[in-house]
């Protein structure tokens, strides 16, 4: 298990998601859904089934890490997956997601996990990493641009949240 010190001095532990994390993982997403509209979690969303949860643990084309506080609670996660690993033309593309509880944002964890995620992609021979981000998500855009991603397009009115339409940017990075 790796240790990471936040900018304010607190310590978190980082490791891949494990089978025993199921309950903590569900609680994490429930809290996240209350805190932000910038992920696709939403309050009241049904929990993942244990089967769906287990499926992500044992795939060689997908990796998820978690950040854990000193009390053992999951406070963040980052994942990356090769979506069409079986397709000869599309197997070089991967999508990612990254999210932390509010109390843990702006503390350097984003940079740390993006590097980890990119290294996994390079080791797997991935050529293109991509994601969608709400256009108003200033923190995520700042992080992605600082990590070498570029905005390659805009999806207008991609989400309708609290009576408001939100545009999404498509962002990507090509790995040399
Ligand atoms: C978006 C998110 C993952 C960013 O991670 P983070 O840990 O807060 O980012 P970091 O602290 O590592 O900051 C990375 C860089 O972005 C910059 N940044 C972070 N938040 C910023 C903000 N609100 N405005 C401008 N720049 C910001 C930092 O200055 C930092 O630059 P530096 O490394 O040169 O100092 C995190 O804020 C989060 O989980 N938000 C809620 C969920 C979410 O939006 N997920 C992304 C969905 S696409």
Share of residues in the chain with pLDDT > 90 (%)? 92
In a domain, 168, yes or no: no
CB of residue 159 inside a 6 A radius of ligand 1? no
In a domain, 151, yes or no: no
Residue range 88-142, pLDDT digits in tens: 999 999 999 999 999 999 999 999 999 999 999 999 999 999 999 999 999 999 9
In a domain, 108, yes or no: yes
Confidence category of residue 14, pLDDT binned at 50, 70, 90: very high
Domain count, the chain: 1
CA pair distance 85, 60, nearest whole angstrom: 10
Exposed, middle or buried by CB within 10 Å (0-12, 13-18, 19+), for 41? middle
Q: Please tell me the residue having the least CA distance from ligand 1 atom 37.
A: 105
Determine the average pLDDT of the residues in 67-90. 97
Exposed, middle or buried by CB within 10 Å (0-12, 13-18, 19+), for 119? exposed
Residue 104, helix vs strand vs coil: helix
Confidence category of residue 58, pLDDT binned at 50, 70, 90: confident
Q: Please tell me the residue having the least CA distance from ligand 1 atom 34.
A: 146
CB of residue 99 inside a 6 A radius of ligand 1? yes
Position 107 scores a pLDDT of 97
Q: Please tell me the residue having the least CA distance from ligand 1 atom 48.
A: 133
In a domain, 149, yes or no: no
CB of residue 28 inside a 6 A radius of ligand 1? no
In a domain, 36, yes or no: yes
Closest C-alpha among 65, 59, 172, 68 to residue 126: 172
The CATH number of whichever domain residue 84 belongs to comes to 3.40.630.30
**Ligand 1 center from residue 117 Cα (angstroms):** 15
The answer to whether the beta carbons of residues 149 and 102 sit under 8 Å apart is no
Confidence category of residue 18, pLDDT binned at 50, 70, 90: very high
In a domain, 109, yes or no: yes
CA pair distance 134, 110, nearest whole angstrom: 17
Q: Which domain holds residue 90?
A: 2-127
In a domain, 114, yes or no: yes
CB of residue 121 inside a 6 A radius of ligand 1? no
In a domain, 148, yes or no: no
């Amino acid at each position: 298990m790796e240790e990471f010190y936040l900018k304010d001095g607190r310590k978190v532990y980082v490791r891949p998601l494990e089978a025993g994390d199921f309950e903590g993982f569900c609680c994490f997403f429930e809290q996240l859904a209350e805190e932000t509209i910038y992920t696709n979690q939403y309050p009241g969303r049904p929990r993942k089934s244990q089967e769906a949860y287990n499926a992500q643990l044992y795939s060689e084309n997908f990796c998820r890490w978690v950040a854990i506080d000193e009390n053992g609670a999951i406070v963040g996660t980052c994942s990356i997956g090769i979506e069409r690993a079986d397709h000869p033309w599309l197997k070089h593309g991967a999508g990612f997601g990254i999210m932390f509880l509010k109390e843990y944002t702006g503390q350097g964890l984003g940079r740390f996990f993006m590097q980890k995620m990119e290294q996994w992609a390079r080791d797997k021979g991935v050529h293109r990493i991509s994601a969608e981000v709400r256009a108003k998500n200033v923190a995520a855009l700042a992080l992605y641009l600082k990590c070498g991603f570029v905005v390659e397009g805009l999806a207008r009115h991609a989400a309708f949240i609290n009576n408001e339409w939100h545009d999404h940017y498509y962002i990507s990075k090509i790995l040399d």
